[in-house]
């Protein structure tokens, strides 16, 4: 489920401007504005970043075309059951497995890591039965797979749509409304994918598509699209996410952790970890350990400092596993280059 810029404060650990090839301070401010209000009119976005609407729209088109930033949308739990899988495999099978799994619509993210589980996968399924069939019936039988470690997400404290580059000054943020933040407080309900899948898939490719384009893509009237999208946002059936190429943006290191917290402390620990500015994912799971965490960092040496703050945020929790992502060829349905530049989008279709 991000980024922006201005000659304003940037997230902790972010490198200086000169070290951020391809993304200027004003680019990061634009990204944060879209993180905070993904479908806001360009006039409002422009007012927040201190430019005019035409310039803001043109700059966003440049970032998209270069693969430096993009905006997507996807269905949220309980409309989707999410699983995380660590995959151990033969070294000679790693490349083929990576290519294969990047092509599966139900595998929304793929990471190659330093762990003995060389692949870390994010999975989407309609329900637990479908998730089990995907993991044990399909992934577990692929050639070269040696071991599967499987966990089911029960609560997400933060994911990519909630991470901010922190590039806007307080007065700039005040220009943007907090509709999207408020929408996340509403409990979602399952929906009938028959009439909504086309809308989700179209927005998944480009979250700022106009109502007219969405109506054309979905075979609906423009007024029907407006009503349906408003309802989905109100019920939190859909999340928007403004994402960016993490390497050119100055966060080339992705660190992943599995923790085990005492059950009575789990929610407090998850919420506290989610507040750390580097945290991109903090999710309660049922599996080996009960917390899955991922963070964006500047250099590998930052892992120690982050892990120290991680255990301070969750006293008593044990770190069971830690790894650095060597490459992330797929993130939330977006295929990425070796340097994290955004490429083609593949619709996330939960396994059935």
Q: What percentage of the chain's residues is helix, strand, coil (to nearest 5)?
A: 40, 30, 35
pLDDT above 70 covers a percentage of the chain that reads 88
Angle between helices 193-205 and 222-234 in degrees, nearest 10: 90
pLDDT over 80 at 15, yes or no: no
- Where residue 186 falls among pLDDT bands split at 50, 70, 90? very low
The pLDDT, as a whole number, for residue 147 is 97
121 forms beta bridges with 85, 110
Tokens representing residue 86 in the block: 């660590």
Q: Which of 19-23, 49-53, 67-71, 169-173 has the lowest mean pLDDT?
A: 19-23
pLDDT over 90 at 111, yes or no: yes
- Where residue 78 falls among pLDDT bands split at 50, 70, 90? low
Q: Are 311 and 249 contacting, i.e. CB atoms less than 8 angstroms apart? A: no
pTM over the 0.85 mark: yes
Of residues 26 and 184, the one with the higher pLDDT is 26
pLDDT over 80 at 187, yes or no: no
Mean pLDDT across 272-287: 97
The pLDDT, as a whole number, for residue 77 is 65
- Where residue 1 falls among pLDDT bands split at 50, 70, 90? very low
Tokens representing residue 302 in the block: 């930052």
Q: Are 339 and 119 contacting, i.e. CB atoms less than 8 angstroms apart? A: no
The pLDDT, as a whole number, for residue 61 is 96
Q: Where are the alpha helices (DSSP H) in 92-177?
A: 94-102, 128-132, 170-173
Q: How far is CA 312 from CA 164, 194, 271, 306, 315, in A?
A: 22, 46, 13, 10, 6
Q: Which of 176-180, 232-236, 284-288, 291-295 has the lowest mean pLDDT?
A: 176-180
Q: Are 295 and 173 contacting, i.e. CB atoms less than 8 angstroms apart? A: no
The pLDDT, as a whole number, for residue 2 is 36
Model pLDDT for residues 35-69, shown as the tens digit of each residue:
999 999 999 999 999 999 999 999 999 999 999 99
pLDDT over 90 at 87, yes or no: yes
- Where residue 183 falls among pLDDT bands split at 50, 70, 90? very low
Q: Tell me how crowded residue 9 is: count the other CB atoms within 10 A of its CB.
A: 13
| Arithmetic mean of pLDDT over the chain | 88
Element (H, E) at 251: none
Alpha-carbon torsion 284, 189, 202, 43, what sign? negative
The pLDDT, as a whole number, for residue 235 is 80
Q: Are strands 107-113 and 279-287 parallel, antiparallel or unpaired?
A: unpaired
Mean pLDDT across 165-194: 64
The pLDDT, as a whole number, for residue 14 is 39
265 vs 316: CA distance, rounded Å: 9
Q: Tell me how crowded residue 277 is: count the other CB atoms within 10 A of its CB.
A: 15
Q: Which of 47-56, 189-198, 280-289 has the lowest mean pLDDT?
A: 189-198
């Amino acid at each position: 489920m991000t980024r922006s810029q201005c000659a304003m404060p940037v997230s902790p650990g972010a490198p200086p401007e000169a070290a951020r090839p391809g993304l200027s301070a004003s680019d990061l401010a634009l990204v944060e504005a879209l993180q905070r209000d993904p479908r806001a009119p360009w006039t409002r976005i422009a007012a927040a970043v201190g430019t005019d609407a035409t310039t803001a729209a043109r700059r966003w088109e440049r970032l998209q075309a270069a693969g430096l930033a993009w905006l997507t949308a996807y269905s949220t739990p309980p409309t989707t059951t999410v699983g995380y899988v660590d995959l151990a495999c033969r070294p000679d099978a790693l490349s083929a497995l990576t290519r294969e799994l990047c092509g599966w619509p139900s595998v929304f993210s793929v990471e190659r890591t330093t762990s003995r589980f060389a692949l870390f996968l994010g999975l989407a399924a309609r329900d637990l039965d479908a998730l089990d069939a995907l993991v044990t019936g399909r992934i577990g039988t692929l050639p070269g797979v040696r071991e599967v470690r499987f966990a089911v997400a029960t609560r997400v404290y933060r994911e990519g749509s909630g991470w901010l580059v922190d590039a806007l000054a307080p007065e700039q943020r005040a220009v943007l409304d907090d509709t999207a933040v408020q929408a996340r407080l509403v409990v979602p309900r399952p929906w009938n994918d028959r009439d909504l899948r086309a809308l989700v898939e179209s927005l998944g490719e480009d979250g700022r598509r106009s109502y007219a384009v969405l109506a054309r893509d979905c075979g609906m009237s423009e007024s029907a699209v407006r009503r349906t999208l408003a309802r989905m946002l109100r019920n939190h059936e859909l999340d928007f996410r403004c994402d960016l190429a993490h390497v050119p943006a100055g966060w080339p290191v992705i660190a992943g952790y599995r923790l085990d917290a005492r059950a009575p402390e789990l929610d407090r620990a998850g919420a506290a970890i989610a507040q750390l500015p580097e945290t991109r994912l903090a999710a309660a799971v049922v599996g080996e350990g009960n917390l899955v965490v991922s963070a964006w960092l500047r250099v590998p040496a930052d892992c120690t400092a982050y892990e120290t703050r991680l255990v301070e945020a969750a006293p008593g929790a044990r770190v069971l596993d830690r790894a650095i992502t060597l490459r992330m060829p797929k993130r939330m349905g977006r295929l990425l280059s070796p340097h994290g530049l955004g490429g083609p989008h593949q619709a996330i279709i939960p396994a059935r």
